[in-house]
Structure 1
Amino acid sequence: MKGKRVIAGILLVGILALTLTGCKNTDSSKKETEKPVITLGSDNYPPYNYLNEDGVPTGIDVELATEAFKRMGYQVNVVQIDWEDKKELVEKGDIDCIMGCFSMEGRLDDYRWAGPYIASRQVVAVNESSDIYKLSDLEGKNLAVQSTTKPEGIFLNHTDERIPKLGNLISLGHRELIYTFLGKGYVDAVAAHEESIVQYMKDYDASFRILDEPLMITGIGVAFAKNDDRGICEQMEQTLEEMRQDGTTLKIVGKYLDDPEKYLEVDALGY
């Protein structure tokens, strides 16, 4: 009988331990799901935001946003949006913010901004056999951009004397299409963030040549509606800066881009 009592006691202790552990994990999970949700809008733009093999959003911006909002006491819901509708969506409150390699240049008065947290080069790419080597060589040529992006604005507005008059500017709704048009020879060149072009070449084993002369160097930020007075934008600004200072941003960017230090040189951008 004494032996049975010992065994029963051990079983009872084990059951209690499992029960207490289970309660602890449940409480922790409950606390996590009880955090308020920030809905972040972006489109498919590797390496900043894209779906992995399991269909889960990932990338530089997804990881930065997840960490930043976690520190702020929020959980993040990343949703794919039509990039052309981004301003309307954030102003209507369908999303809380826009974060998808979003250039601040020329848009400072359109949104409330947190950033810049990354510096990015807007560049032109051509096929390797192309006779285009500098921006002036684009005179009379056909160039493709993703619609509503910064390169589209640069070529439409002609405020930079370095930018020649094109033959045609082709604006396409999705990032991948501009590279398809270039690869098939439908256009002579494309313009986009350098990181996006490099990522496309890696993903699809494509060979494009990026011009040495950039269209511009711009700051990447998180955009909130202009009338958003909740204080989240300001808190996000502070948190992103803390992450840059403590090395978190460098570590995340380094997972996706070579020479990550150069992308964090944002102080000289003058925003």
Structure 2
Amino acid sequence: MLSIYAASFYGCGKKEWSDSHNNEAGLPEIVIGSDNYPPYNYVDTDGNATGIDVELATEAFKRMGYKARFIYIDWEDKKNLLADRTIDCAWGSFSMDGRENEYRWAGPYMTSRQVVAVNMESDIYSLEDLEGKTIAVQTTTRPEKIFLSKTDERIPAIRSLIALQKRELIYPFLSKGYADALAAHETAIRQYMEDYNIKFRILDEPLETVGLGVAFDKNDDRGIEKQLTEILNQMRNDGTEKKIISRYIPDADKYLEVDSYGK
């Protein structure tokens, strides 16, 4: 499966994604803000939004009586866009951990490992080996917070942290040697390697395992997040989540162990 990065993604402002999934005439719309992050959210060769989160959102909101409409946003702006109701929710491989009190959450609907990846010839084999190195991350993500907080005793003092607005830029920063390592969701790194036939080495020890959720504004009192949580649980129990996730990544079951997550 080749993920196609549409040129319009690199423009300014918000871009609407054409989505062939959404043909439920007459249903009220839910506007979902996300960015380009295969295999969770991306544009296929026909210009339609697709990916794990896109399919999950389309099915979940359909069951709730809504039509999902996806727009591309600058991920840094998500909190403001939620507050002014430009978008109803932010859904895009979004880690709940450490942000529990910043939003109203639906989920977690699956888990994901935040990991560090390096070039194949790198001499970095553990988190300890990151001492004095340069790491590339996306801004406002969990990896950025982990490295900036300096509270994880496993992580030594690094030389510098390169925080990039576009997630897809962290990969060429590593492959071209501008960074010694990158940190992101393991599933996204593996998808990039498959799409572009490039090999990185993922460190065995993860930065953390996180729960993925759907964020609503803190002051959004419509209760949609509670209903959505119930529907996502229903989709997990009836096998729909596994069926969708399996279309994009292997071993779907290990990403659905949310009942034991955090325990």
TM-score, with length taken from structure 1: 0.88
Aligned: 1:144 with 2:136: yes
Q: 1:247 aligns with which of 234, 239, 243?
A: 239
Secondary structure of the structure 1 residue equivalent to 2:24:
helix
Residue 179 of structure 2 is matched in structure 1 by 187
In the TM superposition, residue 208 of structure 1 has moved relative to its aligned partner by 0.2
Q: 1:157 aligns with which of 149, 153, 175?
A: 149
- Whole-angstrom CA distance in 2 between matches of 1:159 and 1:77: 39
In the TM superposition, residue 236 of structure 1 has moved relative to its aligned partner by 0.2
- Whole-angstrom CA distance in 2 between matches of 1:32 and 1:183: 43
Q: 2:53 aligns with which of 47, 61, 67?
A: 61
Q: How does 1:89-108 map to 2 (within 5 A)?
A: 89-108=81-100
User: Paired residues, what number?
Assistant: 241
Is there any run of 5+ residues in structure 2 with no aligned partner, and where? 1-22
Secondary structure of the structure 1 residue equivalent to 2:46:
coil
- Whole-angstrom CA distance in 1 between matches of 2:181 and 2:260: 29
Higher helix share: 1
Is there any run of 5+ residues in structure 1 with no aligned partner, and where? 1-30
| Percent identity for Structure 1 against Structure 2 | 63
Residue 5 of structure 1 is matched in structure 2 by none
Q: 1:235 aligns with which of 224, 227, 231?
A: 227
**2:65 maps to amino acid:** G
Q: CA RMSD in A?
A: 1.0
User: Which has the higher Rg, Structure 1 or Structure 2?
Assistant: 1
Q: 1:177 aligns with which of 169, 175, 183?
A: 169
- Whole-angstrom CA distance in 1 between matches of 2:179 and 2:119: 10
Aligned: 1:257 with 2:249: yes
Q: 2:127 aligns with which of 130, 135, 152?
A: 135
TM-score, with length taken from structure 2: 0.90
Aligned: 1:112 with 2:104: yes
In the TM superposition, residue 270 of structure 1 has moved relative to its aligned partner by 2.9
